[in-house]
Structure 1
């Protein structure tokens, strides 16, 4: 994985995130030199979902109230069914996500997390992938859905499932290293 020392990455999540989809990118991006913060709606800990039951808690580094998108170079959105469904009704979370896109920063979304990209209004005309059960949601929102492990489109990195996390993290680090991305019409 590419060296991204000096870069700052936000991981936005709440209870019900898929365990590996938060922990693997967090750990791999840290190993690549980035400063990574887990950001949530409330302080303390958030509890993951590990395949078929509740997983381990993860400490929250900062609350959404304590951070600004300008403080970060990239945003990671872990999936799981519960986490993005809870976050997509939170106005502040959607505004946070949208700010990264507007500022031409890198956004990575895994599995069900592209639901958040739909709600933030940034899927239309973008090449994307996701977990197969939300394929229709992605297409109906105007996304150009592909059945690929990882899809990158001008700083937007999407992955279809937790089995693709190594490829996702590698692509994410590459995009973070490149920096801001101009958004052209698809």
Structure 2
């Protein structure tokens, strides 16, 4: 374990968290250390309910972070069910987005409950937000994020170099 002292509350915290399937991940920052002005975008992968995904992304500290990124018109990219915390944060109210489309549309209906105009397409972009409807879309989301951060031309260079058509 890697521990460090949180200066805002003077507590010792771990820098290691367990991700899905109990895979340990070392984190570089905790919520209280994040200055969104240091970042150009927020990328949120999806996750599994049975591994605590919703408890983590519905945490008010994360919800606040999402709202701050959106307020500064910074790019927010999500894969699969990661659109749900955006919906819950309120930033997708009245906007277009998508989320996991299988399982009878359960998660898309959940996203609609947050007053989102759900579009059943693989990748949906509405202003600064990129959403997608399943894990298979991850490369497409990554390329769209790269395009928005740089340019279509630079994204195409990287895409071709990686063997994508």
TM-score grouping bracket, smaller chain normalisation: 0.7 to 0.9
Q: Which residue of 2 aligns with 1:129?
A: 98
- Which SS does the other structure have where 2:81 is aligned? coil
Q: Does 1:63 align with 2:30?
A: yes
Please say which of residues 95-104 and 141-150 is displaced more in the overlay.
141-150
Contact 1:84 1:116 in 2 (8 A): no
Could you tell me which of 29, 44, 55 is aligned with 2:15? 44
Counterparts of 2:14 and 2:32, CA distance in 1: 10
Offset at residue 131 of structure 1 (A): 0.6
Offset at residue 155 of structure 1 (A): 1.3
Counterparts of 2:137 and 2:17, CA distance in 1: 23
Q: Which residue of 2 aligns with 1:91?
A: 60
Larger Rg: 2
Equivalent pairs, count: 133
Q: Does 1:153 align with 2:126?
A: yes
* Deviation per residue, 1:87-140 (Å, 9 max, x gap): 344221111110000000000111111121122101112111111231011112
Contact 1:77 1:110 in 2 (8 A): yes
Q: Which residue of 2 aligns with 1:162?
A: 135
Counterparts of 2:64 and 2:125, CA distance in 1: 22
Give the unaligned 5+ runs of structure 1. Answer: 1-41, 179-186
Structure with bigger strand share is: 1
Q: Which residue of 2 aligns with 1:172?
A: 145
CA separation of 1:89 and 1:138: change in aligned 2, threshold 3 A: closer
Greater relative contact order structure (CA < 8 Å, 6+ sep): 1
Q: TM-score, normalised by structure 2?
A: 0.73
Structure with bigger helix share is: 2
Give the unaligned 5+ runs of structure 2. Answer: 1-12, 152-165
CA separation of 1:131 and 1:56: change in aligned 2, threshold 3 A: same
Q: Which residue of 1 aligns with 2:117?
A: 144
Counterparts of 2:146 and 2:115, CA distance in 1: 26
Offset at residue 55 of structure 1 (A): 5.1
- Which SS does the other structure have where 1:158 is aligned? strand
